[in-house]
A and B are shown apart, each in its own frame.
Chain A
Amino acid sequence: MIYLGSTCLLAIVIMASSAEFGSLWIIAFFLSILAIMLIFILNYADFVVFPLFTSLLGVKIVPAKNYYMPKDSSSIVKNVGGIYYATGYLTANVYNYVFAAESVDEDEAAKLSEGPDKWERIVMNAGFPFRFSFVSVAEDVQRYRDELEGKRGVLEFQLSKEMSSSTPSELTIQDLQRKMNVIDARINRLSAGERPVDSIMYVESTAVGVSEKEAIDSLSNQLAHLQTLFSAFDLSITRVVGRELYHLFTYNYVVPTRDALADTFSAER
């Protein structure tokens, strides 16, 4: 919030000083609006800005010796003895995944038991190299526990308020109890020694070709095929391009810390 707030504030100050520019105030006003818009676009859609920038300027990025990102910033290419290896990434965060200990309805258990089957089907149907990665970063147990207990307190208050009202809603009570059960299950798991984790999941695939274009085209086909295969998991799957592509590439060599992960993947809130 500091970055977004402070930079927008400076643009607003220029906007507010329109009187200083005489008849040119409209240009200053327009430029300030444009700057604020650009800051917001960078913050929320840098995956559009970065490839556009590199494509327009024809910039090739070299993330390490023997590797390069072509100007569309959609893949990382390596040339080994005339064979081109193009690597690309897809996001694959399992948003809807609920662990058995937290599950309170039968649907979730069914989803959980279907997971291994779906995974094996993906592997059988892929037919080309790919890697599913799960980066887990441990959170502070005490802070997480305090957060959960805080949430539980709020739910307890809401439940008692609902139960003591003149017309208590059965549906609301059930919903609140269900949410409390989920939180209780999480607290129990913490007591049993498990640690809360932040995570990021992604799929990486590599394609080969005798030319850069062939490798990149082949990679695009592979990623499209993986998108279809992973849709069985009900995931949000998007191709990673630009800045984030570079960071995922570096994760092959160094696992990020919690702060590095938060800096790279969270938009300014």
Chain B
Amino acid sequence: MAISQKFLFSILMLISLIFIIGIYLLDVPAVFKLVLAVLALAFDLLAFSTKLYMSFFIPFLKAKNRTVTLEADEAFNMAPSGNAIVVRRGGSVYASAFITIPTYRSATEMNNEEKIDFARLFSRALTISKSSVKFATQLYVINKDAYISNIRGRLDEAEEKYQNASMNPQMKKADSERTRGEATMWHNLYDNVNKVGSQALEAFAMVSAEGGTEEEAINLVLQRADEIASGVSSVFGVSAAVVEGEDLLRFVEPDHMIPPITVGEQLREKNMAAEM
């Protein structure tokens, strides 16, 4: 059962108060009273710290090997419908949904009036919902994992073909040259694909809802997300939509914001350049 912050604060204050009453009422040596004062002050400090550090309090007492585990489970779970994430904290269930806001206009193609109008629209969009909303814009690395894997596969195939051709004495020279050319082509493509980091900018809104059960939280959040999507669409004149499937992970997981294979290849290039 989760302990509320106010309850813990009251208990610690009460303990502190008991020690202080002990200082006045107990007929004991001064040293013992000083010990009571130290304990009272320690509990007083602990009571105040619950205001800021409640989330850390109990996990800190349960810490093992200097590791304080605030949450042992995954940060979130994907909803079965694939259009929301579910987070369990204490006894509560929360669901969050994401809405993409595809705005393609650049400031360079706006005059001053249009820029001010855009700022007005932005301020209007911020107030479209009664519930808390997070609006965000992110610059992320485009996922080239599948593309890189494909090129690497083709490169391996071409190199194998070339190796077989060069070991085969019956192979014509022209054919051997052609397989070598093919391998070189895939090699060049593989080397070049990582030289430029491809990034994209996208805006999105995020909304959450708490529910008694997972289904209730998901239904509530999707209802709110639809409200926000239609509000944003009418304000900006774009087609905002609730994000579904794997695209959603880009907003919550760093390894989807910066895909591992893509960035791994970039790191490899960087290290090779540093070695040279």
Contact = CB atoms under 8 A, between A and B. Distances in A.
Contacts of B100: none
Interface residues of B, number: 86
Contacts of A116: 107, 110, 115, 118-119
Contacts of A123: 139, 201
A131 B132 contact: no
A46 B119 CA distance: 35
Given A4-B48, A31-B37, A65 B129 contact: no
A196 B251 CA distance: 27
A157 interface: no
B11 interface: no
A127 B140 CA distance: 10
A254 B69 contact: no
B127 interface: yes
User: Chain A binding site: helix, strand, loop or mixed by DSSP?
Assistant: mixed
Contacts of B206: 255
B132 A136 contact: yes
B70 A62 contact: yes
Contacts of A43: 48, 52
A136 B126 contact: yes
B254 A87 contact: yes
Given A42-B48, A131-B136, A253-B75, A60 B119 contact: no
A21 B37 contact: yes
B17 A10 contact: yes
Given A254-B94, A268-B51, A63 B115 contact: no
A63 B107 contact: no
Given A21-B37, A243-B56, A113 B112 contact: yes
A48 interface: no
A46 B51 CA distance: 11
A14 to B, nearest CB: 5
Interface in A184-232: 194-197, 199, 206, 208-210
Contact of A257 (B24, B49, B73, B132): B132
Contacts of B130: 138, 195
A197 B127 contact: yes
Given A81-B260, A119-B107, A10 B13 contact: yes
Nearest to B68: A61
Contacts of A38: 45
Interface string A123-139: 10011111111111110
Contact of A132 (B49, B96, B136): B136
Contacts of A137: 132
Nearest to A68: B67
Contacts of A85: 254-255, 258
Interface residues of A, number: 91
Contacts of A235: none
Given A65-B73, A81-B260, A116-B115, A243 B52 contact: yes
B53 A243 contact: yes
Contact of B132 (A13, A24, A255): A255
Contacts of A4: 48
B216 to A, nearest CB: 15
A52 to B, nearest CB: 14
27 contacts: A20-B23, A22-B30, A32-B37, A35-B41, A35-B44, A60-B68, A63-B71, A64-B74, A80-B255, A80-B260, A81-B260, A81-B264, A85-B254, A99-B123, A100-B119, A117-B115, A120-B106, A120-B107, A129-B257, A134-B126, A134-B134, A138-B129, A208-B267, A209-B267, A210-B271, A246-B55, A258-B132
Interface of B: 9, 13, 16-17, 20, 23-24, 30-31, 33-34, 37-38, 40-41, 44-45, 47-49, 51-53, 55-56, 63, 66-76, 85, 87, 89, 94, 96, 106-108, 110, 112, 115-116, 118-120, 123-124, 126-127, 129-141, 197, 199, 201, 206-208, 251-252, 254-255, 257-258, 260, 263-264, 267, 271
